[in-house]
Amino acid sequence: MDDDHNKTLAWKGWAEAERKFVLEMQHPFSALAVSGKKTIETRAYPLPDALLNFKIGIMQTEKGQDGISALPSTFPLQETTKVRRIGWVTFNKCIEYKSRKEFESDAEKHLVDPNSGYGWNDERPMFGWVIHTFQKEDAKNEEGSIAVRRMRSLFEIVTA
């Protein structure tokens, strides 16, 4: 059975140019990414290959619990202070960190506190999505737009 909220890396929809995707990121990391101060975004899963060099909106949420999404799998986008699009990035490379040493050697790029829930953990894989281009902007939500989770923190923006 196909789950609209849990697509795989092989999902053909990633490669469809007319689709609009956004990445959920907590403040302050979201603002650091669209300002160029954070040059690697870390995740416990790889970026789908089809999204390399693809403009991905940054959907900022307030600081919450490490590793726990603050958002439901589907929700209407409204002008709100809780969730807002603050710009976009493109990623041109996805690297897999094989060791704590590799991960921590990029600390000035990913800005992850090693003692946080986002720090290195021997029990899970760790990937770095290298930010290539970025733009800070106050993106307005299109009337009737809905965010639909497609994989983990990646959402698609659809118009109802």
- The residues, ordered by sequence, that sit 6+ positions from 140 with a Cβ below 8 Å of its Cβ are 79
Q: Phi/psi of residue 25, each to 5°?
A: -140, 140
What are 107's two structure tokens? 């600390």
Q: What's the confidence (pLDDT) of residue 125?
A: 95
Give the separation between CA 22 and CA 156, rounded to whole angstroms.
Answer: 6
Return the pLDDT at 126: 96
Residues of the chain with pLDDT below 50 are 1
Specify the pLDDT at position 57: 95
Distance between CA atoms of residues 14 and 150, nearest Å: 9
pLDDT of residue 1: 39
- Residue 5 confidence (pLDDT): 65
What's the order of all strands across the beta sheet hosting 145-151? 40-43, 126-136, 83-97, 56-61, 20-26, 154-159, 145-151, 74-76
pTM above threshold 0.85? yes
Query: Beta strand 20-26 with 56-61: parallel, antiparallel or unpaired?
Result: parallel
| pLDDT at 152 (0 to 100) | 93
